[in-house]
A and B are shown apart, each in its own frame.
Chain A
Amino acid sequence: DTAVSQTPKYLVTQMGNDKSIKCEQNLGHDTMYWYKQDSKKFLKIMFSYNNKELIINETVPNRFSPKSPDKAHLNLHINSLELGDSAVYFCASSQSRRATNEKLFFGSGTQLSVL
């Protein structure tokens, strides 16, 4: 029944590795997001897709590559992981960019630890 599910919940890996985080929403929403929450709890948007189209691409290293195979999925692939990539990554979705009852639905987060 989970509305926005992301896997894995925890990811521990070595520097230099490549890893992916998956996200799926079963709400029928058009728009999906990736947010990064650092150790100080600051939430910063990374990417947003609307109907599989990239609409927000903040200043993020190109080691981060989002992929949206369909509007229900938005995966995040990270190449050559660095220590500074350690954070909690949240996937979120919203109904559409034009809905008047707009709000974000969040996944439970993926805590990435790079050693």
Chain B
Amino acid sequence: AQTVTQSQPEMSVQEAETVTLSCTYDTSESNYYLFWYKQPPSRQMILVIRQEAYKQQNATENRFSVNFQKAAKSFSLKISDSQLGDTAMYFCAFMKPSGTYKYIFGTGTRLKVLA
């Protein structure tokens, strides 16, 4: 069974600085998708970034980028130029595009951006 691990329960970063959130996963699959979701205090879950395992190039979305290391089964999220609005819970998620297509979430990292 697939598992997703986020080893940092809480992190903080100064405004305008860069922070990296860690995520590792365990799977025997070769084809899958990885995601980072953000949950601000409003509770709404928002997709931040998505990576397809068959693509070697790391995904980027504006200030958000990932470091995808397939062999190491690592999928970290880098937030550059952190903003106060980035304060949220961040969840890493894994999905295998076959069978039940179930999304499996990590336990989350609470990120606080300090003014």
Which A positions have Cβ atoms within 8 angstroms of B? Answer: 31, 33, 40-45, 48, 55-56, 88, 90, 92, 94, 97-98, 102-104, 106, 108-109, 111
Cβ-defined contact, A40 with B43, below 8 A: no
Q: A45–B35 contact, CB under 8 A? A: no
Any A CB within 8 A of the CB of B16: no
Return the chain B residue nearest A90 by Cβ.
B45
Q: Which residues from chain A contact B43 at a C-beta distance below 8 Å?
A: 88, 108-109, 111
As a 0/1 sequence over residues 26 to 41 of chain B, the CB contacts with chain A under 8 angstroms (1 = contact) are 0000000101010100
- What 7 A-B pairs are tightest by C-beta distance, nearest first? A106-B45, A97-B101, A43-B105, A109-B43, A41-B108, A56-B100, A103-B47
In the bound complex, residues from chain A placing their C-beta under 8 Å from that of B62 are: none
Interface size class of B (residues with CB under 8 A): 20 to 34
Number of residue pairs across A and B with beta carbons under 8 Å?
55
Cβ A43 vs Cβ B91 within 8 A:
yes
Contact A42 B108 (CB under 8 A): yes
Q: Which residues of B contact A56 (CB under 8 A)?
A: 100, 102
Classify the interface of chain B: helix, strand, loop or mixed: strand
**Shortest distance between the CB of A109 and any CB in chain B (Å):** 5
The yes or no answer to B95 lying at the interface (CB within 8 A) is: yes
Query: Which residues in window 19-58 of B have CB below 8 A to A?
Result: 33, 35, 37, 39, 42-47, 50
Whole-angstrom distance between the alpha carbons of A97 and B43 in the complex? Answer: 25
State the Cβ distance, B50 to closest chain A Cβ, in Å: 6
Q: Which residues of A contact B46 (CB under 8 A)?
A: 106
Complex: chain A residue closest to B45, CB-CB: A106
- Contacts A/B (CB < 8 Å), 18 sampled: A40-B107, A42-B107, A42-B108, A43-B108, A48-B100, A56-B100, A56-B102, A92-B45, A97-B100, A102-B33, A103-B35, A103-B47, A103-B50, A104-B45, A108-B42, A108-B43, A108-B44, A111-B43
| B35 pairs with A48, CB closer than 8 A | no
Q: How far is the CA of A94 from the CA of B100 in the complex (A)?
A: 13
Contact A102 B97 (CB under 8 A): yes
On whether the beta carbons of A48 and B89 are closer than 8 Å, the reply is no
Task: Contacts A88-B43, A106-B44 given; indicate if A41 touches B107 (C-beta within 8 A).
Answer: yes
